[in-house]
Amino acid sequence: LTATPYRTDGLQALICRQLGDIIHVIRPETVEQVGGTVPARVQVLHVHGTVQADSWNELLDSLTGSPLRNQQLSDIARKAAQRYPTLILTDRVEHAAVLAGMSEGALLVHGQLPAAARREALQGIRDAALTIGTTGLLGEGLDVSGWQCVVLATPISSPAKLLQAIGRVLRPAPGKTFGVVIDCVDDHPMAGSSFQKRQRIYRKRGFQLGEYR
C-alpha cells in the first residue's frame, strides 16, 4: 500500500517491475469523503526580495541564507501558530536551526540531533504550537495528526516529496476540518519552474488554491 507510487528519479516503473502491476487505486477524493483525510487549502506566498543563483544548490544557499526571507517566514509561521498547530519544513538542517532561533518557543526537530534529544523532541511535537524541522525527518512517515498548517520553506519539485509534505496536515483530528499549506514562491526562474510543477499537482488533486493574505 502506498499513497505516493513515485520515485524522485522518475523511475517509478521499477516499482511495478519489482512488485507487479498496480491492482487497485483508491481516489484521494474517496479517502476524503469517508473521513480519511481533510481538504487542503493552499496559500501562495510571494516572498520578498530577488534571488541570484546559477544552480539549484546556489538557489537554496541564497534562499536559506537570506535574513529578510527567514524573518518573513518566521513571522508568518508564528502568526499561523496562534490559530492552529503549525509545521515549517525545510531541506536543510542549518536553515531549520536559524528559523527556530528566530521563532521564540518553537520546537526544533531534525535528524542530526543526538538520539536522546531527538526522541525528546519527537515526543514534544503533539504539544508544540510551532514545530520546525527537515523534510528528511518530518516530511513523511510520521504519525502526527495535530498539525493543521505546513509552511514549505524551501522549494519542492518532486511529486512524492510534495504530497508527503502536504500529508502532514491532512490527517483527521478532532475539530480539524481542513489543512493549510503555505507555499513560498521566490523571484527566480528555477523557483518559478518548481512552483509550476507544484501548481499542477495542486490542481490535479483539486486542492483549493489562493494567495496568502
Write the DSSP string, 158-192: -HHHHHHHHHTTTS--TT---EEEEEEEEESHHHH
Q: What is the largest CA-CA distance in the chain?
A: 49
Helices (H) and strands (E) in the chain, counts: 9, 7
Asked whether residue 81 is assigned to any structural domain, the reply reads yes
Whether 78 has a pLDDT exceeding 90, the answer reads yes
pLDDT in tens, 10-42: 777 888 888 888 888 888 888 888 889 999 999
Asked whether residue 4 is assigned to any structural domain, the reply reads no
- Total domains, the chain: 1
Any idea which residue has 490559530 for its cell?
A: 83
What percent of the chain shows pLDDT beyond 90? 68
Question: Strand 179-187 and strand 149-152: pairing?
Answer: parallel
Asked whether residue 19 is assigned to any structural domain, the reply reads no
C-alpha distances in Å from residue 21, one per residue of 6, 10, 132: 14, 17, 38
Report helix angle 189-205 to 159-167, nearest 10: 60
Asked whether residue 13 is assigned to any structural domain, the reply reads no
Asked whether residue 18 is assigned to any structural domain, the reply reads no
Asked whether residue 9 is assigned to any structural domain, the reply reads no
Q: What is the pLDDT of residue 6?
A: 66
CATH of the domain at 130: 3.40.50.300
Please state which of the ranges 25-34, 53-62, 80-89, 154-163 shows the lowest mean pLDDT.
Answer: 25-34
Whether 4 has a pLDDT exceeding 80, the answer reads no
Structural domain range at position 64: 36-211
pLDDT in tens, 122-144: 889 989 999 999 998 887 767 88
7: confidence class by pLDDT, cuts 50, 70, 90: low
Asked whether residue 5 is assigned to any structural domain, the reply reads no
104: confidence class by pLDDT, cuts 50, 70, 90: very high
Asked whether residue 2 is assigned to any structural domain, the reply reads no
* pTM for this model (two decimals): 0.89
8: confidence class by pLDDT, cuts 50, 70, 90: low
